[in-house]
Amino acid sequence: MKGTVIKRGNKWAVVVDVGRDANGKRVRKWHSGFDRKRDAEAARIEILSKMASGRYVAPSKITVGEYAHRWLDQRKNLAETTKATYRFELKRITDVLGPRPLLQLQPSEIAECYSQLLESGLSAKTVRNSHGVFHKALKDAVREGLVPRNAAEGVELPRPQRPETAAWTAAEVSEFLHHVSSHRLYAAWLLAVTTGMRRSELLGMRWQHVNLDAARVSAVDTLVEIENRPVLRIDETKTAGSRRTIAVDPATVDALRAHRSRQAEEKLLAGEAYDDQGLVFCDEIGRPVSPDWFTRTTKRLATEAGVPPLSPHAAGRHTWATLALESGVPAKVVAERLGHASVTTTLDRYSHVTEGMDRDAASTVASLIARS
């Protein structure tokens, strides 16, 4: 193991032997840019020490942006939809840190990047999502020997704020459903408020997972927006717990039957132009419904109906959970129908409801004791 200090013009450099290549040719690495010989000597000692302990990382000019692009390109085992999501998450960071040499990246720079993202209006949850992908990429950079440590490892993340869980009242649900009763996607909104299914689950649901005779639907596939286009993820719900079968009430079953009959008429009318993907909720020629369009339409129709313009997630999922808990449905049952991994998630997310239930329970038991 050798290391030499050499003067190059007005600067000093350290040259170290790092072994031989596949052809047996000696490989040398240069560490340049030292103003004084003694600085180069000190660097030579440190470099040789790192080489002896296995901590040495050869100099590389690859930037954060170049590495992120290469890292994504090498992820051959990722589904295209997942890769597109990773690319979107990483872009937020590479837009800021992309030109920075990967080897010189510091935790303080990553922390500053996250601060800038927050100041631009992104939520703490969004920044944490991007961090998760970036951290994964840097972890692989360490494994490849491109950097000595994961610079994202010790960065303090913004604490996610618990979002306010907006929901409609039972009266507001009735007003909205009455207003959209003649819409071709009426059954989608009805199913949302009677089951608490996610938007992605509703729009990704296929008829093969609907059993109207048994009055049950299954959440299996999802539809998501990737790079401004709807993409169906087959058998890819949010978590293993999300894949579930949900009982449906008779009125919703009737609405789904009527919806299926209407869809069959649209299929006959469209003829060969119909792109049958087996979706329960699609456009007039069978294509997936854009999730963003569905959200905008839900809010617009809610405003027309005179109720708060909530997103489909709040209008359906949050509303169903709130009404169910307020009606005395056990939290475990609510958690299972929502597809939560744990009942704790349900109790935490809907604490504004369960706190009131807790007070009612205290009063109820106290009154029983007082009468005895």
Q: Which of 28-37, 168-177, 215-224, 273-282 has the lowest mean pLDDT?
A: 28-37
Instruction: Identify which has the larger pLDDT, 31 or 313.
Output: 313
Answer whether residue 70 is part of any domain: yes
Looking up residue 192, the CATH number of its domain turns out to be: 1.10.443.10
Q: Are both 133 and 276 inside the same structural domain?
A: no
Confidence of residue 162 (pLDDT cuts 50, 70, 90): low
pLDDT at 27 (0 to 100): 67
Q: Are both 8 and 137 inside the same structural domain?
A: no
Confidence of residue 288 (pLDDT cuts 50, 70, 90): very high
Instruction: Identify which has the larger pLDDT, 110 or 348.
Output: 110
Q: Are both 9 and 109 inside the same structural domain?
A: no
Closest CA to 192 of 114, 304, 350, 298: 298
The string of pLDDT tens digits covering residues 143-155 is 877 777 899 998 9
DSSP annotation string for 126-170:
HHHHHHHHHHHHHHHHHHTTSSSS-TTTTPPPPPPPPPP-----H
Looking up residue 83, the CATH number of its domain turns out to be: 1.10.150
Q: Which of 21-35, 124-138, 314-328, 356-370 has the lowest mean pLDDT?
A: 356-370
pLDDT at 171 (0 to 100): 95
Answer whether residue 154 is part of any domain: no
The string of pLDDT tens digits covering residues 220-229 is 888 887 766 7
Mean pLDDT of 55-75: 82
Q: Are both 96 and 207 inside the same structural domain?
A: no
Answer whether residue 94 is part of any domain: yes
Q: Are both 111 and 235 inside the same structural domain?
A: no
Task: Determine the Cα–Cα distance for residues 276 and 282; give it in Å rounded to an integer.
Answer: 9
Q: Are both 38 and 73 inside the same structural domain?
A: no
Answer whether residue 156 is part of any domain: no
Q: What is the mean pLDDT of the chain?
A: 85
The string of pLDDT tens digits covering residues 303-327 is 999 999 999 999 999 999 999 988 8
Closest CA to 170 of 322, 337, 342: 322
Q: Are both 138 and 207 inside the same structural domain?
A: no
**For the CA atoms of the chain, what is the radius of gyration?**
29
For the chain, what is the domain count?
3
Instruction: Please give the residue range of the domain that contains residue 102.
Output: 64-143
Q: Are both 48 and 69 inside the same structural domain?
A: no
Q: Are both 214 and 306 inside the same structural domain?
A: yes
Dmax (CA) for the chain in angstroms is 98
